[in-house]
Structure 1
Amino acid sequence: MNKLPDFIIIGAMKCATSSLHEQLAQQPGIFMSELKEPNFFSNDEQYAKGMDWYLSHFQDASPNDLCGESSTHYTKLPTYPQTIERLQKYLPQAKFIYVMRHPIDRLISQYIHEWSQRVISVDINQAIYQHPELIEYSLYTKQLTPYFEAFEQEKVLPVFFEGMLTNSQEELERICQFIGYKSQAKWDNELAASNVSNQRMIKSKWRDLLVETPGLKQLRRWFIPKGFRDWVKTFWTIKQKPELSSENIHYLENIFNEDLAILGNWLGIELSCNNFKQTAKQVSPNWNQAKK
Structure 2
Amino acid sequence: MTLANFIIAGTEKAGTTSVFTYLSTHPLVCGSAVKETDFFRNGYFGDRNTDMLNYSKYFASHCERKTIVMEASPGYLGSGAEVAPRIHALIPKTKLLFILRDPVDRMYSSFNFHIGKLNICKDMSFSEYIDQCIAYDSKQKSPAELGMDEWYLKVISYGRYAEYLKYYYQCFPTKQIKIMFFEDMNRDILSFMQELCQFLEIPSDYFANYDFKKINVTYESRLKWLHKIAVWLNAKSERLLRQRPQLKQSLVDLYKKTNQAREGYDQIPEQDYLRLRRYYAPSVDSLRTLIENRTIPWNM
What is the TM-score when the length of structure 1 is the normalising length?
0.74
Structure 1 or 2: more helix by fraction:
2
Q: Which residue of 2 aligns with 1:74?
A: 76
**What is the alpha-carbon distance in structure 2 between the residues aligned to residue 239 and residue 93 of structure 1?**
38
Aligned length in residues: 252
SS of 2:58's partner is: helix
SS of 1:69's partner is: strand
Match of 2:273 among 240, 245, 249: 249
Query: CA, structure 1 residues 51+207, in 2 after alignment: closer, same or farther (shift >3 Å)?
Result: same
SS of 2:8's partner is: strand
Matched, 1:258 2:279: no
Query: CA, structure 1 residues 244+25, in 2 after alignment: closer, same or farther (shift >3 Å)?
Result: same
- Counterpart of 1:106, as a letter, is R
Is the radius of gyration larger for structure 1 or structure 2?
Answer: 1
The correspondence of residues 52-131 of structure 1 with structure 2, limited to 5 A, is 52-58=53-59, 59-77=61-79, 81-121=81-121, 122-131=124-133
Q: Which residue of 2 aligns with 1:47?
A: 44
**Per-residue deviation at 1:12?**
0.7
Q: Which residue of 2 aligns with 1:33?
A: 32
**Per-residue deviation at 1:255?**
2.1
**Per-residue deviation at 1:130?**
1.0
**Per-residue deviation at 1:54?**
2.0
Per-residue displacement from partner, 1:88-130 (whole Å, max 9, x unpaired)? 2211111100001111111111112222344322211111121
**What is the alpha-carbon distance in structure 2 between the residues aligned to residue 47 and residue 114 of structure 1?**
26
SS of 2:70's partner is: strand
Work out whether residues 15 and 106 of structure 1, in 8 Å CA contact, stay in contact via their aligned partners in 2.
Answer: yes
Work out whether residues 261 and 271 of structure 1, in 8 Å CA contact, stay in contact via their aligned partners in 2.
Answer: no
SS of 1:82's partner is: helix
Matched, 1:172 2:172: no
**Per-residue deviation at 1:178?**
1.1
The correspondence of residues 218-257 of structure 1 with structure 2, limited to 5 A, is 230=258, 234=261, 240-241=265-266, 243-246=268-271, 248-257=272-281
SS of 1:41's partner is: helix
**What is the alpha-carbon distance in structure 2 between the residues aligned to residue 201 and residue 62 of structure 1?**
44
Matched, 1:184 2:205: yes
The correspondence of residues 189-204 of structure 1 with structure 2, limited to 5 A, is 189-199=210-220, 204=225
Match of 2:176 among 155, 164, 186: 155
Per-residue displacement from partner, 1:36-59 (whole Å, max 9, x unpaired)? 11110012xx33695423212222
**Per-residue deviation at 1:68?**
0.8
Work out whether residues 25 and 31 of structure 1, in 8 Å CA contact, stay in contact via their aligned partners in 2.
Answer: yes
Give structure 1 stretches of 5+ with no counterpart: 214-225, 276-292
Per-residue displacement from partner, 1:217-242 (whole Å, max 9, x unpaired)? xxxxxxxxx9xx84x654xx899436
**What is the alpha-carbon distance in structure 1 between the residues aligned to residue 222 and residue 173 of structure 2?**
40
SS of 2:98's partner is: strand
**Per-residue deviation at 1:185?**
4.0
- Counterpart of 1:53, as a letter, is N
Give structure 2 stretches of 5+ with no counterpart: 134-152, 235-253
Per-residue displacement from partner, 1:128-168 (whole Å, max 9, x unpaired)? 12124222121111121110111122211011111122222
Q: Which is worse superposed, 145-154 or 237-246?
A: 237-246
- Counterpart of 1:244, as a letter, is P
Q: Which is worse superposed, 62-71 or 2-11?
A: 62-71
**What is the alpha-carbon distance in structure 2 between the residues aligned to residue 64 and residue 174 of structure 1?**
20
SS of 2:165's partner is: helix
**What is the alpha-carbon distance in structure 1 between the residues aligned to residue 231 and residue 192 of structure 2?**
41
Query: CA, structure 1 residues 202+151, in 2 after alignment: closer, same or farther (shift >3 Å)?
Result: farther
RMSD: 3.2
Q: Which residue of 1 aligns with 2:246?
A: none
Q: Which residue of 2 aligns with 1:286?
A: none
Query: CA, structure 1 residues 146+81, in 2 after alignment: closer, same or farther (shift >3 Å)?
Result: closer
